[in-house]
Chains A and B, each alone.
Chain A
Amino acid sequence: MFLIKCPFCGERDHSEFSYGGEAHLVRPKQPTELSDDQWAEYLFMRKNIKGLQYERWNHLHGCRRWFNMARDTSNDKIHSVYKIGEKPSK
């Protein structure tokens, strides 16, 4: 259980948000040119990191906007929150 600071609305309980998986996965520009291996790599394979993870969240029961978050998955501590398109602060 933790609080998330939505970049648009401020701090709210995490139950207002929905999780959108690993961030910064770029959809291949031309999927038809990929081999099955490359497509599987994009579609299914995940880092599933224990530690600092960059991930997407949606403020579903709030402003309904997407944003990125850096969270430590080993203790659920949130390191930073940043907007879509931005790079994570180090």
Chain B
Amino acid sequence: MKKKYSIFALIKNSLSYHENWQKAWRNPEPKSKYDAVIIGGGGHGLASAYYLAKEHNFKNIAVLEKGWIGGGNTGRNTTIIRSNYLWDASAGLYDHALKIWENLSQELNYNVMFSQRGVMNLAHNQHDVRELKRRTHANRLNGIDCEWLNVEQVKKFCPIINCSPNIRYPVMGSTLQRRAGTARHDAVAWGYARGADAMGVDIIQNCEVKGIKRNGDSVEGIETTKGFIRTKKIGVVAAGHSSVIANMAGIRLPLESKPLQALVSEPIKPIIDTVVMSNAVHAYVSQSDKGELVIGAGTDAYISYTQKGTHEIIEGTLKAILELYPIFSRLRMLRQWGGVVDICPDASPLISKTSIKGLYFNCGWGTGGFKATPGSGHLFAHTIAKDEPHALNASFNINRFVSGDLVDEHGAAAVAH
């Protein structure tokens, strides 16, 4: 039985110098057979397991993670959460996630530090203005809060932005979603892991998948570095490595994996209390609770699994940051990293069945998966348990690349690829 986190637990444990906290999750050896197995112990995978156990009564399930949980893209993103996507299908998907975020800390009894500080998307040219105004209207029609700010309002809402008309890409306005914001990325993985573990889910770390065993058109089990695991249902949530798992199962996906970079500055006093994104000059920035500026850069143009990324991507982003925020010019950068993101041709994800019975994929989140973590897990659990998609993820099936019914979100994805 998991002990609840509370102010009383905190006081009680402080008396023993915080040395006797209960372990947040077990560290079990894999059993030989499970009802369902999730491959990938990031936020999406752990959330999928959590909702499978909680809402679909799957108790005999496991999450396999080749490294440690939350050590991949969950721990490598810029933690931005928003739902201001253009098309109805995406609006439904991302706002479903946002609604779960709003209550997630309470539900998990784990502080995910969800902060609805607002997200701005800047316009720098006439086309941006038209596109973003169109998106504002589309969002409102879908019941998603979104407003348009003119230049004076931008200056008032975020005073450190350089709104001079004389810069290379002047600010011509912005959208603002006030319900959007950020959350603590690690806490999301840990909270879901703790919640899933409490319901009996086996979280198996340092267990790499080596092969998918098929029996004709259905799955039989998984070869891993910790032995063979028999199961009838496999949910793959492997982000940048989704194609690697797909190749093991003998299918192909419409994905390309590329390094996406981010960096943080040295910590400074509070200076920016919102999230500002700019699609056209490709820079986005927010400030963490520790005071570091969290800056997002772009993807490299070529396939790579190196988790590094090239220098000129960062250089381009920092040039844009310096022009938009001259006040940052003396800041030193603390660290830089890359994550391998799997990008679909239409910049929308796949939460889908496949041609193989019992094999499900949740991937293609590309440059913006973190925001969808709770909704993605919730809908994927439904898809696995019922063997059919939920109404909210029906559009995000693999078959859309055959039918042509794509969900083109290159504009709202906000990272150029």
Contact = CB atoms under 8 A, between A and B. Distances in A.
B301 A18 contact: yes
Contacts of B345: 44
A37 B404 CA distance: 11
A39 to B, nearest CB: 8
Interface string A19-31: 1010000000000
Contacts of A41: 252
A15 B310 contact: yes
Nearest to A13: B312
B402 A14 contact: no
B401 interface: yes
Contact of B243 (A21, A40, A48, A74): A48
Nearest to B403: A36
B300 to A, nearest CB: 8
B252 A45 contact: yes
B401 A47 contact: no
A14 B309 CA distance: 12
A19 B301 contact: yes
A75 interface: yes
Contact of A19 (B247, B302, B308): B302
B305 A44 contact: no
Interface residues of B, number: 26
Interface string A36-65: 110111011111111001010000000000
B394 interface: no
A86 B247 CA distance: 26
Interface stretch (B100-108, B180-188, B253-261, B268-276): B253-261
A14 B302 CA distance: 11
Contact of A76 (B257, B306, B311): B306
B403 A48 contact: no
Interface in B338-385: 342, 345
Contacts of A74: 305-306
Given A1-B310, A40-B401, A50 B252 contact: no
A43 to B, nearest CB: 8
B205 interface: no
A2 B241 CA distance: 23
A80 interface: no
A48 B304 contact: no
Contacts of B256: 21, 46, 48
B10 interface: no
A41 B252 CA distance: 8
Given A53-B303, A74-B305, A76-B304, A47 B252 contact: yes
B306 A46 contact: no
Interface in A62-89: 73-76
For A14, A44, A76, which residue has the most chain B Cβ atoms within 10 angstroms? A44
Given A44-B345, A48-B243, A75 B306 contact: yes
A55 B303 contact: yes
Nearest to B311: A1
B89 interface: no
A45 B246 CA distance: 11
B252 to A, nearest CB: 4
A18 B305 CA distance: 18
Contacts of B308: 76
A44 B243 contact: no
Contacts of A49: 243, 247, 303
A41 to B, nearest CB: 7
B158 interface: no
Nearest to A46: B256
A15 B312 contact: yes
B244 interface: yes
Contacts of B342: 48
Given A19-B302, A45-B252, A50-B244, 14 more contacts: A1-B310, A18-B301, A36-B403, A39-B402, A40-B254, A40-B402, A46-B243, A46-B256, A48-B257, A49-B247, A49-B303, A50-B241, A55-B302, A55-B303
Interface of A: 1, 14-15, 18-19, 21, 36-37, 39-41, 43-50, 53, 55, 73-76
Interface of B: 241, 243-244, 247, 252-257, 301-306, 308, 310-312, 342, 345, 401-404
8 contacts: A1-B311, A36-B404, A39-B402, A44-B345, A47-B252, A48-B243, A48-B303, A73-B306
Pairs A-B, 6 closest by C-beta atoms:
A48-B243, A19-B302, A44-B254, A45-B252, A40-B402, A44-B401
